[in-house]
């Protein structure tokens, strides 16, 4: 009989020992465990908003407390967030596999969010840090029209024998997403299958004239590249326009030179 059983009953194994065994079984694999520092699962705007959204739905209420306990004690030994999908390994009496599918944000809703946020975000750094106005916070966290998924947009699956779709392992993985957003808030956009640069471009006011306004936009684009991990070449358009202007000026000079030469020949015809 297994060392974890005594007279047919499963023996209690301390959480730390279960976690040690789980991590040992993962040796050699590329894992990304969720580590919580202190009692609070999420401390930033994006992470906190994710957790608050989960807790606002009665569908999840009964199972979330155990999930909080599991994520706090380090039971989520691997968490991967990709486009419309979350995959996790959670340590319990065994190591269970969790798969969470989240629907892509509807195009119509994303377009509405972009339009509503246009011109209301002070800078790209503020966007990711969550230093947003109350108006923008209301837009992105709205239960019907915001960035965060509702229960009907989430499909849950776990390899454990629990009959409930929202078992404690799934709940731990969902809270793990909130903790991960503290460090990588752009993953929320990845998860919902939308391009964050579209929101950023709408948030940056279009410059009325060249000069300082144009320079400020270039600096904001550089900040976006470093924070969001996307390449935005704000100077490319200006460079193309400058090249086109040079070509146009050269063409005008060439045409004027030809006309001047023709005029001289007309005034001083050569003999035949």
Q: For tokens 């979350």, what's the residue?
A: 86
- Return all residues near 81 (Cβ < 8 A) that are at least 6 apart: 177, 180, 187, 190, 191
Which residues, 6 or more positions from 223, have their beta carbon under 8 angstroms from its beta carbon?
Answer: 123, 124, 125
| Total-model pTM | 0.69
Reading the chain (272 residues) residue by residue, the pLDDT tens digits are 445 545 555 566 666 666 666 666 666 677 899 999 888 999 999 999 999 999 998 878 888 999 999 999 999 999 999 999 999 999 988 899 999 999 999 999 999 999 988 887 766 666 777 777 888 889 999 998 999 999 999 999 999 998 888 999 999 999 999 999 999 998 999 999 998 778 777 655 555 544 444 444 444 545 544 544 444 444 444 444 455 555 556 666 666 666 565 555 555 555 44
Beta carbons within 10 angstroms of residue 163's beta carbon: 6
Q: Are 153 and 168 in contact (CB under 8 A)?
A: no
201 vs 235: CA distance, rounded Å: 14
Residue with tokens 């789980």: 22
Q: Contact, 43 vs 137, CB < 8 A? A: no
The Cα–Cα gap between 148 and 136 comes to 14
Q: Name the CA dihedral angle for 121, 85, 96, 36, rounded to a multiple of 10 degrees.
A: -10
Closest CA to 48 of 210, 181, 170: 181
């Amino acid at each position: 009989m297994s060392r974890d059983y005594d007279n047919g009953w499963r023996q209690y194994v301390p959480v730390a020992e279960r976690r040690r065994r789980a991590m040992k079984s993962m040796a050699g694999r590329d894992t990304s465990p969720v580590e919580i520092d202190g009692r609070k699962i999420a401390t930033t705007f994006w992470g906190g908003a994710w957790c608050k959204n989960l807790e606002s739905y009665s569908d999840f209420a009964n199972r979330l407390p155990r999930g909080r306990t599991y994520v706090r004690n380090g039971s989520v030994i691997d968490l991967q967030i990709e486009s419309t999908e979350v995959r996790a390994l959670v340590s319990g009496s065994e190591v269970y596999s969790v798969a969470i599918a989240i629907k892509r944000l509807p195009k119509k809703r994303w377009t509405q969010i972009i339009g509503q946020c246009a011109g209301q975000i002070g800078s790209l750094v503020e966007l990711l840090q969550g230093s947003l106005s109350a108006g923008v916070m209301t837009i992105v966290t709205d239960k019907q029209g915001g960035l965060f998924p509702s229960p009907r947009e989430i499909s849950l699956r776990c390899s454990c024998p629990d009959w409930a779709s929202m078992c404690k392992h799934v709940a731990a993985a969902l809270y793990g997403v909130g903790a991960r957003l503290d460090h990588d808030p752009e993953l929320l956009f990845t998860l919902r299958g939308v391009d964050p640069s579209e929101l950023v471009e709408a948030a940056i006011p279009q410059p009325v004239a060249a000069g300082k306004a144009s320079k400020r936009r270039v600096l904001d684009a550089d900040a976006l590249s470093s924070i969001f991990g996307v390449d935005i070449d704000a100077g490319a358009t200006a460079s193309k326009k400058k090249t086109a202007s040079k070509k146009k000026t050269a063409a005008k000079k060439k045409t004027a030179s030809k006309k001047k030469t023709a005029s001289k020949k007309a005034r001083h015809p050569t003999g035949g």
